[in-house]
């Protein structure tokens, strides 16, 4: 986080300025909020410590479902999106139909609102009444997230694949490696390493969007906090859910930024040498 400060200026003076302006900013905002006419009411309904303590354990337990959805979806997305990206990189006119299908898929699922896909699949698929189709809302929620996020992540992979210089492919093919061997041994290992930071960015989004599966009725953290809010007419439970999400996503975001900064430093070091 300190990188944001250091790059801003020169040493201790700029750190002091940044610190002072931050403190002033939050004091002003704090004074404005706590002196607003509705503040006593807001404090009672959103920041009730007693309410927080009584609902937090239940919501934390429901949050395990968010983590489960996140982990299963992430594993599937990493594999499925890579498959899509490799399909899209197949050369020549023979593979045009496959490439076109992947492009249509990526355009479609990047264009649709996540909540819409979740609703259509989660309410529609079980309604078909087919015995071999699972009716679990969590299952269909995961399917929807995988479909949406694979569209994004396959684009990230593709950017990585295209960033590898063609001379790497020429070198591999000249040694007699097949197209697939070249992809697996030479192109993908380099491409995936390059796109780890943007991949993590997408997974921060995924972690948040697990809450949308709650709209299908699955008792995950957000849904549980809504149930609590409806029962007590107090919204502090939302705050409890927010704390849980942020506890996962902020460290992930910091880790991503750290990786990006480290990559940049390495590239600069390599450029100088």
Partner 1 sequence: MSALSVVGLRKSFGRHEVLRGVDLEVGEHEVVCLIGASGSGKSTLLRCVNLLEPIDAGSILLGGEVVSRSRDVNSVRRRIGIVFQSYNLFPHMSVLRNVTLAPRDVLRLSRRDAEERAVALLERFGLADKRDEYPDRLSGGQQQRVAIVRALAMQPELMLFDEVTSALDPELVAEVLSVIRELASAGMTMVLATHEMSFARDIANRVCFLDEGRILEQGPPEQIFTAPREERTQRFLQRIIEARRL
Binding site for partner 1 (CB under 8 A): 167-168, 170-178, 181, 185-186, 189-190, 193, 270
Residues 147, 266: Cα–Cα separation, whole Å: 34
Compare residues 169 and 257 and give the one whose CB is closer to partner 1.
Answer: 169
Dihedral sign (CA 128, 133, 135, 138): negative
Whichever of 7 and 174 has its CB closer to partner 1, that residue is 174
| In the complex, minimum distance from the CB of residue 184 to partner 1, in angstroms, rounded to a whole number | 9
**Rounded CA gap, 212 and 91, in Å?**
38
Cβ-based nearer residue to partner 1, 128 or 270: 270
CB of 273 to partner 1, least distance (A): 8
Task: Between 181 and 268, name the residue whose CB sits nearer to partner 1.
Answer: 181
- Token pair, residue 93, equals 């006119």
CB 106 within 8 A of CB 154: yes
Contacts for 54 with CB less than 8 Å, ≥ 6 apart: none
CB of 173 to partner 1, least distance (A): 7
CB of 194 to partner 1, least distance (A): 10
One DSSP character per residue, 55-83 reads: HHHHHHHHHHHHHHHHHHHHHHHHHHHHH
């Amino acid at each position: 986080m300190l990188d944001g400060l250091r790059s801003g200026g020169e040493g201790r003076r700029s750190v002091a300025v940044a610190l002072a302006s931050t403190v002033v900013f939050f004091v002003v905002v704090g004074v404005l909020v706590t002196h607003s006419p509705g503040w006593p009411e807001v404090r009672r309904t959103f920041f009730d410590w007693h309410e927080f303590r009584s609902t937090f354990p239940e919501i934390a337990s429901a949050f395990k479902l968010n983590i489960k959805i996140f982990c299963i979806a992430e594993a599937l997305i990493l594999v499925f999106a890579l498959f899509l990206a490799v399909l899209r990189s197949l050369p020549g006119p023979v593979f045009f139909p496959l490439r076109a299908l992947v492009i249509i898929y990526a355009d479609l699922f990047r264009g649709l609102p996540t909540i819409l896909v979740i609703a259509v699949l989660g309410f529609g698929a079980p309604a078909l009444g087919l015995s071999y189709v699972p009716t679990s809302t969590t299952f269909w929620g995961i399917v929807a997230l995988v479909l949406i996020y694979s569209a994004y992540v396959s684009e990230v992979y593709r950017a990585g694949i295209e960033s590898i210089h063609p001379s790497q492919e020429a070198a591999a093919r000249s040694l007699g490696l097949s197209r697939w061997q070249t992809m697996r041994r030479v192109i993908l290992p380099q491409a995936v390493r390059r796109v780890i930071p943007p991949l993590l960015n997408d997974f921060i989004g995924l972690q948040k969007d697990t809450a949308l599966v709650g709209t299908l009725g699955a008792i995950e953290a957000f849904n549980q906090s809504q149930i609590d809010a409806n029962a007590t007419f107090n919204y502090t439970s939302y705050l409890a859910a927010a704390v849980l999400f942020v506890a996962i996503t902020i460290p992930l975001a910091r880790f991503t930024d750290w990786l990006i900064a480290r990559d940049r430093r390495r590239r600069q070091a390599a450029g100088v040498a």
